[in-house]
């Protein structure tokens, strides 16, 4: 029988619909799949928001859209109720012979099964956490992700082994290469920002007086977990320091982030607030223009890495060694707090008053940003033998 890593596949589906950071982490798998199967049709199951950016990737053949927001109306809206069945039928009709499910939940496993693919790959069942009773009482959880969830592993014909939990998400995803025979080249995060999105952002910045010659600090202060939010005054203080140095400051985020961004903008005269005004592609275009990007642990942080822009991220409950800016430990700002990381999502679960975030100041983050920029200038100088003008 032919070994799996020697087999050739012609129609491949990659499942990793969301969130943005997780999708960015999976881009190297897409690139490796294309290198391994240069003639194959390679599709990706994505939410419409993420499809806005990823559909332009040169390694991708097609996007299969998974509108998760609509499915929340199942039972109340007839079209939404029929939606999962229609999606399953679409996937089945595409006749995939290989499905790679990096999402690893019950819903994604069902879609893998519905595909009818004879080869379905996903993560193995969870490994046991190392948590002790004392660590749980302190609110410290040593590991978040621990493998496929909700019985998803039962749907796979081949399972990705979990040699350790102490690995970055990008490296975990690339473990699938041990099964499929990927090359050993470094992870490739290449992204294509649509020119139309770049043009819209350039016009918006020009209208604000932020021309291409002006250094730009892009601040994305929001994320899904309440516990990952750095405090508003910290972002505002950092923004004011950048403005004092001659930077243009732009705030960005989704519609849900508008209130928080507005609060920061109100404390930062001279900053412009684009929250709620950008698609994912336009956010990427904005970050590509950035001299420096300042974030929490969020999708925008991973976008900055993929676009090779300098970034500084404030970390508290999550572990940067596992989900931080890939290959950039110097971009992380975190307090030396015994209970961090804890992986708690709700502020009400924290027994320490969100100390991991509250103890970080704007001066701390601004200082880290200057160090990151200095390192970026040095790297550029080494490559081009001349120092660029950043300040």
Of the pLDDT bands very low, low, confident and very high (cuts 50, 70, 90), residue 129 is low
Per-residue pLDDT, averaged over 302-328, amounts to 96
CA–CA distance, 60 with 388 (Å, rounded to integer): 35
pLDDT value at residue 384? 43
Confidence tier at 82 by pLDDT (50, 70, 90):
low
> Sorting pLDDT into bands at 50, 70 and 90, what band is 148?
confident
pLDDT in tens, 157-188: 999 999 988 899 999 999 999 999 999 999 99
Task: Give me the percent of the chain exceeding a pLDDT of 90.
Answer: 75
- The rounded distance, in Å, linking the Cα atoms of 85 and 172 is 31
The whole-number pLDDT of residue 389 equals 40
pLDDT at 317: 93
Contact residues for 176 (Cβ-Cβ < 8 A; gap 6+): 29, 100, 102, 121, 160, 182
**Residue 166 vs residue 97, higher pLDDT:** 97
Give the list of residues 6+ apart from residue 147 with CB closer than 8 angstroms, or none: 104, 123, 124, 125, 126, 127, 153, 162
Give the chain's domains with CATH numbers: 4-180 (3.40.50.2000), 195-384 (3.40.50.2000)
Task: Give the pLDDT of residue 40.
Answer: 98
pLDDT at residue 144 is higher than 90: no
The mean pLDDT value of the chain amounts to 89
Going by the DSSP 8-state scheme, the letter that residue 2 receives in this structure is: -
User: CA distances (Å), 102 to each of 107, 153, 155, 197, in order?
Assistant: 12, 11, 13, 28
What's the pLDDT score for residue 146? 80
Q: Report the pLDDT averaged over residues 325-329.
A: 95
341 upstream amide cis, omega within 30 of 0:
yes
- pLDDT bin (cut points 50, 70, 90) of residue 378 is low
In Å, the largest CA–CA distance within the chain is 68
- What are the pLDDT digits (tens) for 259-280? 999 999 999 999 999 999 999 9
Determine the pLDDT at residue 309.
Answer: 97
pLDDT at 80 over 80: no
71 pLDDT higher than 60? no
Grouping H, G, I as helix, E, B as strand and the rest as coil, residue 69 is: helix
Q: What pLDDT, on the 0 to 100 scale, is given for residue 376?
A: 84
At residue 67 the predicted structure's pLDDT band, cuts being 50, 70 and 90, is confident
Q: In this predicted model, which residue has the larger pLDDT, 129 or 347?
A: 347
How many CB atoms are closer than 10 A to CB 99?
31
Residue 112 has pLDDT above 70, yes or no: yes
The closest of 317, 252, 322 to 281, measured between CA atoms, is 252
pLDDT at 133 over 50: no
Asked if residue 147 lies in contact with residue 104, where contact means CB atoms within 8 angstroms, the answer is: yes
- Tell whether the model's pLDDT for residue 77 goes beyond 60: no
Helix/strand/coil (H/E/C) assignment for every residue in 111-162: HHHHCCCCEEEEECCCCCCCCCHHHHHCCCCCCCCCCCCCCHHHHCCEEECC
Q: What is the mean pLDDT of residues 306-333?
A: 95
Paired sense of beta strands 41-46 and 272-273, if any = unpaired
Report the 3 state secondary structure along 154-205: HHCCEEECCCCCCCCHHHHHHCCHHHHCCCCCCCCCCCCCCHHHHHHHHHHH
Q: What is the pLDDT of residue 321?
A: 92
User: What average pLDDT score do residues 71-95 get?
Assistant: 71
How confident is the model at residue 86, as a pLDDT? 86
Could you tell me what percent of the chain has a pLDDT over 70? Answer: 88
């Amino acid at each position: 029988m032919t070994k799996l890593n020697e087999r050739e596949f012609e129609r491949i589906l990659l499942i990793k619909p969301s969130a943005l950071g997780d999708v960015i982490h999976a881009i190297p798998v897409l690139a490796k799949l294309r290198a391994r199967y240069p003639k194959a049709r390679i599709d990706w199951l994505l939410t419409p928001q993420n499809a806005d950016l990823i559909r332009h990737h040169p390694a991708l053949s097609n996007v299969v859209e998974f509108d998760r927001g609509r499915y929340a109306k199942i039972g109340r809206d007839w079209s939404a109720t029929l939606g999962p069945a229609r999606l399953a039928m679409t996937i089945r009709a595409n006749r995939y012979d290989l499905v790679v499910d990096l999402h690893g939940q019950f819903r994604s496993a069902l879609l893998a099964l519905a595909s009818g693919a004879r080869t379905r790959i996903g993560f193995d069942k969870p490994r046991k956490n190392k948590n002790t009773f004392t660590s749980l009482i302190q609110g410290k959880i040593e590991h978040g992700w621990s493998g496929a969830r909700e019985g998803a592993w039962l749907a796979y014909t081949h399972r990705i082994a979990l040699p350790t939990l102490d690995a970055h998400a990008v490296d975990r995803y690339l473990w699938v290469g041990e099964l499929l025979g990927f090359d050993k080249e470094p992870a490739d995060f290449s992204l294509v920002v649509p020119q139309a999105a770049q043009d819209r952002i350039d016009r918006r910045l020009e209208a604000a007086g932020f021309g291409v010659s002006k250094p730009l600090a892009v601040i994305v202060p929001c994320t899904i977990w309440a516990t990952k939010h750095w405090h508003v005054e910290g972002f505002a203080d950092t923004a004011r320091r950048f403005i004092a140095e001659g930077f243009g400051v732009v705030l960005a985020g989704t519609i849900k982030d508008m209130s928080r961004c507005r609060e920061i903008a109100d404390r930062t005269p001279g900053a412009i607030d684009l929250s709620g005004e950008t698609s994912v592609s336009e956010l990427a275009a904005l970050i590509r223009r950035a001299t420096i990007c300042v974030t929490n642990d969020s999708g925008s942080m991973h976008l900055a890495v993929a676009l090779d822009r300098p970034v500084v991220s404030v970390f508290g409950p999550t572990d940067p060694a596992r989900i931080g800016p890939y290959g950039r430990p110097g971009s992380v700002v975190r307090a030396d707090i015994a209970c961090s990381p804890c992986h708690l999502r709700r502020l009400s679960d924290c027994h320490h008053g969100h100390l991991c975030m509250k103890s970080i100041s704007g001066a701390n983050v601004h200082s880290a940003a200057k160090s990151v920029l200095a390192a970026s200038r040095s790297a550029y100088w080494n490559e081009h033998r001349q120092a660029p003008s950043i300040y």
